[in-house]
Structure 1
Amino acid sequence: MKTADIRRTFLDFFVRNGHELVPSSSLVYPDPTLLFVPAGMVPFKPYFTGEEKPLWDRATSAQKCVRTLDIDEVGKTTRHGTFFQMLGNFSFGDYFKADAIRYAFELITTPQGAGGLGFDPDQLWVTVLGPGHHPDYPDGDVKARKLWRKVGIPDERIQGRGLADNFWQMGVPGPGGPSSEIYIDRGPAYGPDGGPIVDEDRFLEIWNLVFMSEELSAVRSKSDFDIAHPLPSKNIDTGMGLERTAYLLQGVDNMYEIDEIFPVIERAAQLAGKTYGADREDDVRLRVVGDHVRSSLMLLTDGVRPGNEARGYVLRRLLRRSVRAMRLLGVDTAVLPELLPVSKDLMAQSWPEVEANWDGTSTAAYAEEGAFARTLTAGTQIFTGAAARTRAAGGDTLSGESAFQLHDTYGFPVDLTLEMAAEQGLKVDTEAFASLMAEQRDRAKADARARKGLATSTEAYRQLRADGETRFTGFTELGEETRIRGLIRDGAVVPAATAGEVVEVVLEETPFYAEAGGQDSDSGTIRADGADLTVLDVQRPVPGLIVHKVRLEAGELHPGQRVTAQVDADNRRGACMAHTSTHIIHAALREALGPTAVQAGSYNRPGYLRFDFRSNQPLSKDLRDQIEGRSAEAIGDDLPVSATEMSLDEAKALGAMAMFGEKYGERVRMVELGGAWSRELCGGTHVADTSQIGLLTLTGESSVGSGVRRVEALVGRDAFDRLAAERSLVLGLADTLRVQPDQLADRVSRMVTQLREAEKEIAALRAERARAAIGDHLAGAKDLGGVAFVGVRADAAGNDLRTLAQEVRDRLGERPGVVALIGGPDDKPGIVVAVNGPARDRGLNAGELVRVGASELGGKGGGKPDLAQGGGTDGSRADQALGAVERAVSGG
């Protein structure tokens, strides 16, 4: 029974029994506590907890799931996988224990021809909550035991177990209840007799029935909790592992050998020249490939992209483990173009979105493999040398310096270094690695100072800092009478400066805000008797010291001189408006997206801001409108803005948001907007109330890295000018198209539709012209040692090129034939190779041939033996590409 058929049988059974078929949720579920959906009940959790009213009395689903806690066990055991499918039936206050058990037994034991799974009833064992494990269940789950006996399971095959195995709860106060697990006896070849309590390899669990009946008031562990009272309505939550059921029904030894995974393993073994089952170590690597390729495919299909954090990091690790396993099997060429399409064809039978999202999925996966290949080539040599030196010195720990070099220079993730070290029996000095990473961050800050024109050496700054901190008065004052403490030029303290020079000035106290927390520095002037200075930039190169980069317009400067420092008031006002607006947008984003939308960076200057936040999905137009509207409400509500100094612990207790990765002292400054609506640790300057911002408009939303999105906005007068310009543009377009402004969108939409229809007509004409040339192509076919070869530059592109190649191939008849067509624009040419059956019998393979041609075009390609396609970047080399394919056919 194929896996897709098992899935269909399960769902059809429960639909026949009055259950609503609920589609699977995406693996990326909107729950901030989850990276991915780890269980089939997750989408129904709000119904069980009472947060939402159930939409149905009873439901059934096949839910996509991913778990990565046991990733290192993948391939080594019979049942550890990262992606899996959970079949379930659910009741929300409808049927309970008797029907749940009856349904399960009926589905499992009914013959396959009659709509069941066809297991032998004599193979079934079940477990229930045993006696003596909880005071509220002194005799265990007596009812469940009786019901299993009633449907035909003898008492000797019903075993009692403890709370950790047979009582379900969420780990927190809320719903819970006893459960009953169903096991299949695989026979004496797999272990000793005695049921699940003796051996869970021979007796394999396939289905867990949860009888959700209790409200838990306290949860201390899986086996230590208090029951407050019965739930007002009793619920059923079940989960059957599709992969486990499949390998039992398909008569294979483990989940990796089922029909949805094993073809990937077979193809991987072919590429590596290995025989599955011949070598245990090779088999583990092949199973890793089979599991991880499928898991990566499903994550990519649901929109996850490789990155360095959270979901993106999990995907990156899966893809790179797959590639590295193939490297260890001896395959140094790209493997994902060979393996991922195999998995796609298998999984698309149950999940149509795999096919629909294939272009984005394959592009992201192949790009990641390319990047990792470059990393592996350089990094593996470095690692091997470092490991050899460690062992030669009699050590068992790879140095932190080696791990850091691999990470910093070659892009090796540290977990890969740990993994490779463990394979060679070595540890890694992770503390030294972490210390070097911290030093790197400090160097990055020094580099930033250098880009600002500040000295890269901090010696001069530390010399002046020894005389005390620079007191910042700018929260309350924009002007300050003060004294020059010191002057710095080219990284050294100097005794004087003259007109025309650009130097750094340190004052005893200053109203100038130094760039920090995303807020740009103040501008303004510094004046003394006979000296005028323009402030170009303000920074804090070392803690406690504020340094002004200035141009001396006239006069002379020397330490000890009295000066007047004056901040540009309009510039500061604009900066305050922009900085407060970043707090507003942060709060609005968290309201819209949840607590996972945390800040990942920001920048604001007068009139403009950008705000980076954690998210793997773009903001839809509706979400952008919602965030902009909520921001407008906050501005219109005239929320008071206040700043309070307190201890870090006090701020955390109040729920203040902190910037990830920032260091904070014992005393911090908490900025509030409207009380608890927005509380953030912040050292920047702000407006007194939100109405002073006036206007805020979002101008853009984009990706700035894996898992990080950016919104940009204008505030105040800049926002007004932007909206005025857009209004002028709308009025101008409306006038040109002779419609009212509110009709403009409809008019443009009709024009776009007309344009697309015209493009389709042009494409159809082009395709017709291309088909008309088929006869000419056939007439020009070359005989290459008995193989008819058609190689031309065709007037077609994309799917039309693919269709044309197939039509030409089919017209070749029974004689061995190869068709190679190149089409499309010169900057993005496409190539398709089609090979008929007689030619394939001679050993010719379209996938191999297309790679030859695509390489000449400056690109890559791949596909099946009968039809493959690729692309490149240099269509001017079409003749060379066709010639290369022709030579490959001749050689074949």
Structure 2
Amino acid sequence: MRTAEIKRRFLAHFEANGHTVVPSAPLPAISDPNLLFINAGMVQFVPYFLGQRAAPYRTAVSVQKCIRTPDIDEVGKTSRHGTFFQMNGNFSFGDYFKADAIRLAWDLSTTPVERGGFGLDPERIWATVYLDDDEAHDLWRTTGMPVERIVRRGKADNYWSMGIPGPAGPCSELYYDRGPSYGAEGGPEVDEDRYLEFWNLVFMQYEIADVASKTDFRIVGELPNKNIDTGMGLERIASILQGVDNLYEIDEVRPILARAADLTGKQYGVHSGPAAAQSHPDDVRLRVIADHVRTSLMLIGDGVTPSNEGRGYVLRRIMRRAIRAMRLLGWQDKALPELLPVARDCMSPSYPELAADFDRISSAAYAEEDTFLGTLRAGTTILDTAIAETKKAGRSSLPGDKAFQLHDTYGFPIDLTLEIANEQGLTVDADGFRALMTEQRARAKADAKARKTGHADLSAYRAVLDAHGPTDWLAYETLDTESRVLAIWSGGTTVDTAQAGGIVTVALDRTPFYAESGGQDSDAGLLTSPNLRAEIIDVQRPVKNLIAHTVRILDGSLAVGDAVHAAVDPEWRTGARQAHSGTHVVHAALRQVLGPNALQSGSYNRPGYLRLDFAWRGGLSEATRSEIEDVANLAIRRDLPVDVRYLPLDQARAEGALALFGETYDETVRVVEIGGEWSRELCGGTHVAHSAQIGSLALTGESSVGAGQRRIEAVTGIEAFRYLARERDLVGQLAAQLKARPEELPDRVATLLSRMKQIEREANDLRDRIMDLDADGYAAHAVDLDGVAYVGVTTTGDGRRLAEKVRDRLGRRPGVVGIVAGAGIVVAVTPAGLERGLSAADLIKLLLAGRGGGSAALAQGKATGDPADLLTRLRDLTATA
């Protein structure tokens, strides 16, 4: 049974039993600041379990895409570890409990395939329950499972919690006996390779406190609503139903592994020796490739792009590990163009959008591989230099800070550093490298901790929402309302009043202000009353359905319960509408000029300004930028109608509405159309009524923001007019200064640049002739120090070039040259001086107390103190060397 079919049957079974099918949330955990990625099937339902939000349904079923990254380095070393996985789950929020959860799980597992089930042999299924959970034990007995196949286990195995005070409860797990060829008889407690867990049913019925560890906590009492949270690993059940050993051999993974093996000429799983935990290196690398290529496909598909921080850094690391593993197996060509299409074909039966969006996905992936291959070339050159310096210094170990610099600054893999160093007969200071890595991780964790808000931090906002209900949000309907103050916060604490000069956060019963979202900045405006004048400086939506306004009180005072007039600055809103509609126009123009693969991956707009990030490889030519600008302004001039419709999500997508990658949408979505299908996007922003109201649009910049990602910036409305007016004034000033007509300026400037380059060449030639004369004179007056010619001078020019020229003029004599230029000093040694044992690197380190460096022939460092004293000390060091 293919994995896509297993997924379909799971959803169909629970939908037929009254569950709402909930789509998988995108992999980036946008709604939870504590997570980079969704790492469990229940994450998107956490607010319902914690009681932070009322669930919109009593029961739900989902197949959630998940990423777990803490043990990336372990992937491939065993057949169990994987980065990307899918979790089937059914959930009850105060509806059914143990009896129905057990019945539904048993029915799906054992119903014959021809009747829509999984067709597992009931005689090979085992269950585990918590030690004193007699209810679950007895319920499993009602299925016909014999008592000897129901195992009681302790808290470490069969008690679930989030690791913090809150909901918890016993759980029950289902295992499938794969037969004696997989291990010893006796049930899950004897051998969990033979008895493979495939489903975990969590009975969330208690509240716990005083949590010290997974097994050390205090049960406070029962929850007011008992919940069900189950998880069935899709890859686990697929390996059982497909009769294969592990997740790497199922239909969604094995073809990737097989293609990698074909390309590299390796055979998977044929090596004799230790067990899976100590696999042959070829097998480990093939598993790394299969897992990481699939994971990369899914992450890019959900809008993550490679970068040096956060989610993008995890993706970059995963991709580079896969590429590196292919090279270690002997494949020196580009790997992803061979492997990513295979991963697409494996996963698109479950996720059709991967095939439809593959051009964007592959563009980002292939650009990252090109970048990494360049990194490998540059890093190898730097590493070769470091190895040469290490050998020259007579050391046998490459310093840990050098290995860390290669890894951290250049993205050069540490395993490659170890391998190349070993080939050159060197070791690497692994302890030093690990110490620096530990420091870096500690800084990263501290930074992440500082930026977390967590669920508990929003409790004050939720209390207002629970007490007063949702904010009556009127940003689409009006620019001003009469409102009442519901709550005031100052420094995170609820207060009753606020005075002039203070900055506070305010909740109103109704508001016309747009809260920052969808790339659009929040509105500006005023709150006023007979006793108040306060300016709006930020508007956010900290929890769903509640608008929070940050205000600066200019005059008077504000108190909870006050009636106020809330008014949006009309000029601000006009500019915001122009910029947001302009963003849609630019996006449509991009797709018209570059093709449908130029998809938006992010945006930001404020009054008069917009920027739009999009998937594309390589910069845009001046002609292409002009064409995009022309298409956009033609659409504005045509005065296209701007329409807003509310549609079911599936219908909106069927009509071609574009969605922002990584965003989660409700079942009913807002569709903004400009000129009908010319621009059709899911959007919650504010817009003009007709495209001509944008006024005008001028592109002001285009740049790279990462591998396969470009950014366009533009101004709209009055800001576009001002921008073009400044450009006109600048052209006028240049024309006046150069006494030329505007259309003659390009040729006139080109002529001036050509003349300047000629003058620079002539000046450089003159400086070279002067430096040659100086070098002749300095060499002729070299001081003899017991057979060593010494030259020490100060210059305002290029100290390195002068040192080299003087050294050359010393000819075959042993010689040392010292040149102080500005804040630096350069030391050069002639070939005869090198034969005599003189070293520029040693001299500069003695001179500068260990600072500075270079080669034996030429070294440099920062000059400190009086130049004459410095050169005198260098002469003394040369005399005694």
TM-score normalised by structure 2 residue count: 0.51
Task: Tell me the amino acid that sits aligned with residue 325 of structure 1.
Answer: A
Residue in structure 1 matched with residue 525 of structure 2 by the alignment:
632
| Equivalent-residue separation in structure 2 for 1:754 and 1:192 (angstroms) | 63
Runs of 5+ in structure 1 lacking a partner?
131-139, 439-590, 596-619, 643-671, 676-689, 716-731, 758-892
The offset of 1:346, in angstroms, is 1.5
| Equivalent-residue separation in structure 2 for 1:362 and 1:298 (angstroms) | 11
Which of 185, 188, 193 aligns to 2:177? It is 185
The offset of 1:430, in angstroms, is 3.9
Which of 216, 219, 223 aligns to 1:231? It is 223
Which of 210, 216, 219 aligns to 1:218? It is 210
Runs of 5+ in structure 2 lacking a partner?
272-279, 442-487, 493-513, 538-549, 554-566, 588-599, 610-632, 645-671, 681-881
| Equivalent-residue separation in structure 2 for 1:58 and 1:436 (angstroms) | 45
1:20-99 mapped onto 2 (5 Å cutoff): 20-29=20-29, 30-99=31-100
SS in 1 for 2:210: strand
Task: Tell me the amino acid that sits aligned with residue 51 of structure 1.
Answer: Q
SS in 2 for 1:178: strand
Task: Tell me the amino acid that sits aligned with residue 147 of structure 1.
Answer: L
Residue in structure 1 matched with residue 250 of structure 2 by the alignment:
258
Confirm whether residue 427 of structure 1 aligns to residue 419 of structure 2: no
In structure 2, relative to structure 1, the CA distance for the partners of 1:640 and 1:231 (3 Å cut) is same
Is the contact made by 2:526 and 2:536 (CA closer than 8 Å) also made in structure 1?
Answer: no
In structure 2, relative to structure 1, the CA distance for the partners of 1:155 and 1:333 (3 Å cut) is same
In structure 2, relative to structure 1, the CA distance for the partners of 1:405 and 1:755 (3 Å cut) is closer
| Equivalent-residue separation in structure 1 for 2:245 and 2:422 (angstroms) | 28
Confirm whether residue 344 of structure 1 aligns to residue 344 of structure 2: yes
1:618-767 mapped onto 2 (5 Å cutoff): 623=517, 627-629=521-523, 631-633=524-526, 674=552, 745=642
| Equivalent-residue separation in structure 1 for 2:109 and 2:428 (angstroms) | 46
Task: Tell me the amino acid that sits aligned with residue 632 of structure 1.
Answer: G
Residue in structure 2 matched with residue 283 of structure 1 by the alignment:
283
Residue in structure 2 matched with residue 272 of structure 1 by the alignment:
264
| Equivalent-residue separation in structure 2 for 1:203 and 1:624 (angstroms) | 48
| Equivalent-residue separation in structure 2 for 1:83 and 1:90 (angstroms) | 22
Residue in structure 1 matched with residue 3 of structure 2 by the alignment:
3
In structure 2, relative to structure 1, the CA distance for the partners of 1:390 and 1:184 (3 Å cut) is farther
| Equivalent-residue separation in structure 1 for 2:43 and 2:636 (angstroms) | 53
| Equivalent-residue separation in structure 1 for 2:313 and 2:419 (angstroms) | 15
| Equivalent-residue separation in structure 1 for 2:678 and 2:110 (angstroms) | 59
Is the contact made by 1:639 and 1:691 (CA closer than 8 Å) also made in structure 2?
Answer: no
| Equivalent-residue separation in structure 1 for 2:438 and 2:32 (angstroms) | 34
In structure 2, relative to structure 1, the CA distance for the partners of 1:734 and 1:190 (3 Å cut) is closer
SS in 1 for 2:175: strand
Is the contact made by 1:166 and 1:180 (CA closer than 8 Å) also made in structure 2?
Answer: yes
Task: Tell me the amino acid that sits aligned with residue 67 of structure 2.
Answer: V
SS in 1 for 2:262: helix
Is the contact made by 1:306 and 1:312 (CA closer than 8 Å) also made in structure 2?
Answer: yes
In structure 2, relative to structure 1, the CA distance for the partners of 1:395 and 1:163 (3 Å cut) is farther
Residue in structure 1 matched with residue 135 of structure 2 by the alignment:
143
| Equivalent-residue separation in structure 2 for 1:269 and 1:9 (angstroms) | 32
**CA offset digits 1:671-717 (Å, max 9, x no partner):** x9759xxxxxxxxxxxxxx99999796697999xx9997666689xx
| Equivalent-residue separation in structure 2 for 1:358 and 1:334 (angstroms) | 18
Is the contact made by 1:93 and 1:233 (CA closer than 8 Å) also made in structure 2?
Answer: yes
The offset of 1:433, in angstroms, is 5.5
Task: Tell me the amino acid that sits aligned with residue 220 of structure 1.
Answer: A
Residue correspondences, number: 501
| Equivalent-residue separation in structure 2 for 1:352 and 1:379 (angstroms) | 39
Is the contact made by 1:418 and 1:427 (CA closer than 8 Å) also made in structure 2?
Answer: no
In structure 2, relative to structure 1, the CA distance for the partners of 1:385 and 1:291 (3 Å cut) is farther
Residue in structure 2 matched with residue 297 of structure 1 by the alignment:
297
In structure 2, relative to structure 1, the CA distance for the partners of 1:247 and 1:386 (3 Å cut) is farther
Is the contact made by 2:379 and 2:406 (CA closer than 8 Å) also made in structure 1?
Answer: no
Which of 232, 239, 246 aligns to 1:240? It is 232
1:548-563 mapped onto 2 (5 Å cutoff): none
**CA offset digits 1:514-567 (Å, max 9, x no partner):** xxxxxxxxxxxxxxxxxxxxxxxxxxxxxxxxxxxxxxxxxxxxxxxxxxxxxx
SS in 2 for 1:327: helix
Task: Tell me the amino acid that sits aligned with residue 623 of structure 1.
Answer: S
Is the contact made by 2:94 and 2:227 (CA closer than 8 Å) also made in structure 1?
Answer: yes
Is the contact made by 2:207 and 2:223 (CA closer than 8 Å) also made in structure 1?
Answer: yes
Task: Tell me the amino acid that sits aligned with residue 228 of structure 1.
Answer: V
| Root mean square deviation of aligned Cα | 4.5
Is the contact made by 1:299 and 1:315 (CA closer than 8 Å) also made in structure 2?
Answer: yes
SS in 2 for 1:224: coil
The offset of 1:154, in angstroms, is 1.8
Residue in structure 1 matched with residue 17 of structure 2 by the alignment:
17
| Equivalent-residue separation in structure 2 for 1:295 and 1:735 (angstroms) | 41
Is the contact made by 1:296 and 1:318 (CA closer than 8 Å) also made in structure 2?
Answer: yes
| Equivalent-residue separation in structure 2 for 1:422 and 1:212 (angstroms) | 54
SS in 1 for 2:52: coil
| Equivalent-residue separation in structure 1 for 2:141 and 2:439 (angstroms) | 64
Is the contact made by 2:161 and 2:169 (CA closer than 8 Å) also made in structure 1?
Answer: yes
The offset of 1:421, in angstroms, is 8.9
Residue in structure 2 matched with residue 883 of structure 1 by the alignment:
none
Residue in structure 2 matched with residue 325 of structure 1 by the alignment:
325
Confirm whether residue 154 of structure 1 aligns to residue 47 of structure 2: no
| Equivalent-residue separation in structure 2 for 1:735 and 1:91 (angstroms) | 50
SS in 2 for 1:628: coil
Asked which structure has the greater RCO (Cα within 8 Å, sep 6+), the reply is 2
| Equivalent-residue separation in structure 2 for 1:756 and 1:50 (angstroms) | 40
In structure 2, relative to structure 1, the CA distance for the partners of 1:212 and 1:733 (3 Å cut) is same
Residue in structure 1 matched with residue 168 of structure 2 by the alignment:
176
Confirm whether residue 109 of structure 1 aligns to residue 110 of structure 2: yes
| Equivalent-residue separation in structure 1 for 2:122 and 2:677 (angstroms) | 64
The offset of 1:191, in angstroms, is 2.2
Task: Tell me the amino acid that sits aligned with residue 58 of structure 1.
Answer: T
Task: Tell me the amino acid that sits aligned with residue 312 of structure 1.
Answer: G
The offset of 1:250, in angstroms, is 1.2
| Equivalent-residue separation in structure 2 for 1:734 and 1:367 (angstroms) | 32
Residue in structure 2 matched with residue 849 of structure 1 by the alignment:
none
SS in 2 for 1:128: strand
**CA offset digits 1:78-121 (Å, max 9, x no partner):** 22111111001111222110111111112112221222112122
The offset of 1:68, in angstroms, is 0.9
Larger mean CA deviation between 96-105 and 194-203 belongs to 194-203
**CA offset digits 1:464-513 (Å, max 9, x no partner):** xxxxxxxxxxxxxxxxxxxxxxxxxxxxxxxxxxxxxxxxxxxxxxxxxx
Residue in structure 2 matched with residue 551 of structure 1 by the alignment:
none
In structure 2, relative to structure 1, the CA distance for the partners of 1:151 and 1:418 (3 Å cut) is farther
Which of 201, 205, 228 aligns to 2:197? It is 205
In structure 2, relative to structure 1, the CA distance for the partners of 1:354 and 1:5 (3 Å cut) is same
Task: Tell me the amino acid that sits aligned with residue 337 of structure 2.
Answer: P
Is the contact made by 1:61 and 1:88 (CA closer than 8 Å) also made in structure 2?
Answer: yes
The offset of 1:243, in angstroms, is 0.2
Task: Tell me the amino acid that sits aligned with residue 64 of structure 1.
Answer: K
Residue in structure 1 matched with residue 449 of structure 2 by the alignment:
none
| Equivalent-residue separation in structure 2 for 1:93 and 1:390 (angstroms) | 67
